[in-house]
Structure 1
C-alpha cells in the first residue's frame, strides 16, 4: 500500500491528523510531519529541502497547497513525487476523491455561436473587437446579427474581415438578400432559413440553420429538415426556445420531440431568450440549458451578451458545456466536477468551526493577525486577542491599529472580504482574492516564484 508523508505547520498539525484519521478505508498509509514553522501556507520548497532529512521512507509527499517553490526539483532531491495538496486540511478527503476520478474538461460536444446583435451599427473595428472578446470567452463561431429595417452596407466586408482573422462566421437575418450577401462573402453558416427560403441554401455553400415558417409550426420545420436530409446537405434545426412565461416549457418539449423524431440531426438551441430576458444570475441558467443540451445531444447553442447582467454569458456557456459533457459521458451528477459556475456560494464555505478556530488561536504566540470565517462570523486573532464579529466596523476597535495606517488598511481589506464571504457563504482565505468562478478573469498565479512585497509592508515610502 502506498505510504504518504504530509508536511504541515504547528497550527494545522492537529487538524491534518484528525482529518486523515477520519478518512476510513483510505487507499494509503500516512504520517504527518510538522517541519518547524507555525503557518503551513508559509512553507517553501527550500525550507522543505533543509528541514526534511534523507532518506525519506515514503512513496509520495504532500505539501500545503500554497507552498511556493520548485516541486519538480524537490521530487528529484527526495526521489519520490512531491505534490501540492489542498489549501485547507479539511479538503483532503475531497482532494483524494477528485484525484481518484479526473474529468477531462478540454472536451465538449456543443459549439457556441456568439451573436454580435448590433453589427450593422458597428464599424469594422468594433465588430473585430467584439469578435475577439467573444472568442476569448470561448465562442467557436461569431454570429453577425443583422437588424430589421437597418442598412448593412459593410456586411460583406465584415464577413471577409472575420474570415481573414481565422474566425468561423455565421450571418443571422430574416432577409434573404442579406443571407445571400453573407453566404457569397464566405459565411460558414446562415440563419435562419425556413421551408420557403431553402432555395438560398442552393445558391451558396454556407450551412443553413432552419426554423419553422411561423412560431410553433413544427410541421414546416419537419418539412424543411426532410428536404435538406433528402438533398444530403448539412444543416442545423432550431425549434426556437421561447422566454418565460411565453411558452418556455412548451418550447423545451419541442426540442425533446425533435430529437425523438430525428435521432441524428444536428440541433441548435438559442439560449439568449432565457439569459437576456430573465433577471437572474445567468450562470445557473446556462448550467441548466447546457445540461439539457448535453442530454439532447445539441450540436450548437446561440448566445448573446447584450444586457450587462449577461456580460459573462459566453464564458458561462463555455464552462457549462464542458461540465455537462463530462457529467453526461461519465453518467454522474454535475457536482464536484468544476466549481466555476458557482459564483456566489461555495459547497463547503466554512472548513473549520468556531471550536477549531479557538484551538488555533490558543496556539498563536506572535502579534500577527489571522482572519478566518465560520458560521458565527469573522474571527480575528493573535496572541493578545480573539474577536468574533459580523461587521468589520465592530472588529476594528479591538485591533488597536489607530496609529498604524498601513496595517489598518490591510486589515480593512481582509475583514471586508471576510464579511462578504460570511454573508454569502463563500470560502475565505486570508491574503487571497475571493473566488468568483468564471465571472471574472483570474490572474494566473505561479507558485514557483515569490510574492512581491505588499505596499502596506513597504517602509519609508513617500
Structure 2
C-alpha cells in the first residue's frame, strides 16, 4: 500500500500545487486541501489545529515551508506526522527527490513592435543597425517612426532595405501621405488609421492598426472595426495607453472594455507612454504591463527605447511576455519562473546567517581571504582573523595589504561588490560579478548599440 500524503495550502497556490504534483508523477497518493487562507505563508500551526477537521486518511501532512508554529505538538494532536515542505512550491519536486520543475520560456504570444522613433533624421545604414539591435533583444516587427513636419525622403529606401534584410516592417505616422507612401513601399503594418482615414486600407496591402478618431472615442473605434470586418480585412486595434496622471487608469479600463466588446480581435498596447514618461526602473513596469496584456489577451505591444533609463525596455518586454505566458499556462503566479526582471533585489540575498559564517571562518587554515555578507553587513576572514563592517574602508587597516597593491586592488573590488549587494539585498558570491538581470547586456549576451560589439568585461583575479 503506497503512502498517502495530505498537502495543506492556500487559495493562491492551490492550482499551482495540483499542477506540480501532477507533473511529478509521484510514487505516493495525495490529497490537496485548501485550508481557507489566501496566502499559504500566512498559515500557522494553531490555524491548522483549529481548521483541519479531516486528515483524509493521510500517513503524513506536508505544509508550506514558511508556516509558523510548533509542529511537534500539532503532530501529537493530529496523530500523524506534520512536516514543513520547501519554502517555494517550485522546489517541491526536489524535496521529494524528483527533478526540479522548469518552465518553458521559448514561447510567447505577444509580438513586439520596436520603434525607431527618429527614422527621418538618421541614415538607412544606421536605421538597419538599430533594427538588428532591436531584433537581437526580442523585437518581432521594426516600426519606422515618422516625425511631424519633418521631410522623410528616404522612407521608401529604408522600408525596402529592411524588407530585403528579412525584417517585418511597420510605419508609424498620423499623416495620410506618409501612410500611403509606406504602404505602397511594402510596409507590413500601418500605425495608425482611424475612422476618417480607414480608406487608406483600401489603397494598400498593409495591415492597419486602428485608433479612436478622437482620444477616448471608442464609438469611432467601433465604427472603424465594423468597416474593416465588413470587408474581411485583418486589422489590429490600439485604444491608446495614457501616461500616469493623464488618464492611465481610465485607459486600462478602456482596454478592458474593448476586449469585453470584441473578444476575438487583435489588440495592441503602446507601452512607451509609461516606460518613457515615468522616471522609475522599467523592468517592473514591463512586468506589470505584460501581465495586463496577458490577462486581456493583448497580443501586440509597441515599445521604444528613447530615454536612457528605458534603454533595456525591449529586452525586458521580451522576457516579461515569456514569463507571463508560462505563468498563465501553468495557472500560477509569475514568481520563481526567471530572475531576469529582478535587477535590484533578489529573493534570497543572504544564504548564510552570521553564526553560520563564523562557524565556517573557524575552519579556515590558510591566509587567503574569504568575503561573505549577512543581514548585519560585510565579513572578511582568513586563518588570522574575522572582521565585520558595513563600510569597506573600515576593513582596510585590518587586512595587512598596504604593501601588496595587486592584492589590495582585488580585495577592494570584491568588497565594493559585497557592499553594493548588502545595500540592495542582492546575492554576493566572491569572484563572481553581481547579477543585474535585464538591466545589463550581459543577460542574454546582447550587443552594445553604439559599438555593435559584445559588451562587458570580467576582472580576473591574479
Indicate the TM-score class for this superposition, using the shorter chain for normalisation: 0.7 to 0.9
Whether the 8 Å contact between 2:144 and 2:172 is mirrored in structure 1 is: yes
Q: TM-score scaled by structure 2? A: 0.76
Unaligned runs of 5+ in 2: 1-25, 28-87, 446-457
Whether the 8 Å contact between 1:210 and 1:224 is mirrored in structure 2 is: yes
The number of residues matched between the two structures is 363
In structure 2, what is the equivalent of residue 96 of structure 1? Answer: 94
In structure 2, what is the equivalent of residue 164 of structure 1? Answer: 164
Q: TM-score scaled by structure 1? A: 0.76
Closer, same or farther: CA 119–368 of 1 in aligned 2, 3 Å: same
Secondary structure of 1:371's counterpart equals strand
Name the CA distance, whole Å, in 2 between partners of 1:95 and 1:408: 44
Secondary structure of 1:182's counterpart equals helix
Matched, 1:240 2:240: yes
Secondary structure of 1:192's counterpart equals strand
What is the CA distance between 1:454 and its match in structure 2? 7.2
Whether the 8 Å contact between 2:243 and 2:274 is mirrored in structure 1 is: yes
What is the CA distance between 1:94 and its match in structure 2? 7.9
In structure 1, what is the equivalent of residue 312 of structure 2? Answer: 312
What is the CA distance between 1:232 and its match in structure 2? 1.1
Whether the 8 Å contact between 1:406 and 1:456 is mirrored in structure 2 is: no
Secondary structure of 2:362's counterpart equals helix
1:421-460 matches, cutoff 5 A: 421-442=421-442, 457=462
What is the CA distance between 1:130 and its match in structure 2? 1.3
Name the CA distance, whole Å, in 2 between partners of 1:398 and 1:93: 41
Secondary structure of 1:363's counterpart equals coil
Q: Deviations over 1:330-364 (max 9, x none)?
A: 11000000110000000110010000000100111
Secondary structure of 1:442's counterpart equals coil
Q: Deviations over 1:289-322 (max 9, x none)?
A: 0000011111100010000000000001001000
Q: Deviations over 1:264-295 (max 9, x none)?
A: 10000000000000010000100000000011
In structure 1, what is the equivalent of residue 138 of structure 2? Answer: 138
RMSD: 2.1
Matched, 1:228 2:236: no
Q: Would you identify which runs of 4 or more consecutive aligned residues in structure 1 move more than 6 Å?
A: none
Name the CA distance, whole Å, in 2 between partners of 1:111 and 1:404: 54
Name the CA distance, whole Å, in 2 between partners of 1:268 and 1:99: 39
What is the CA distance between 1:165 and its match in structure 2? 0.8
In structure 1, what is the equivalent of residue 251 of structure 2? Answer: 251
Secondary structure of 2:287's counterpart equals helix
1:391-402 matches, cutoff 5 A: 391-402=391-402
Unaligned runs of 5+ in 1: 1-26, 29-89, 446-452, 458-462
Name the CA distance, whole Å, in 2 between partners of 1:93 and 1:387: 35
In structure 2, what is the equivalent of residue 373 of structure 1? Answer: 373
1:61-460 matches, cutoff 5 A: 93=91, 96=94, 99-442=99-442, 457=462
Name the CA distance, whole Å, in 2 between partners of 1:274 and 1:96: 40
Name the CA distance, whole Å, in 2 between partners of 1:435 and 1:455: 17
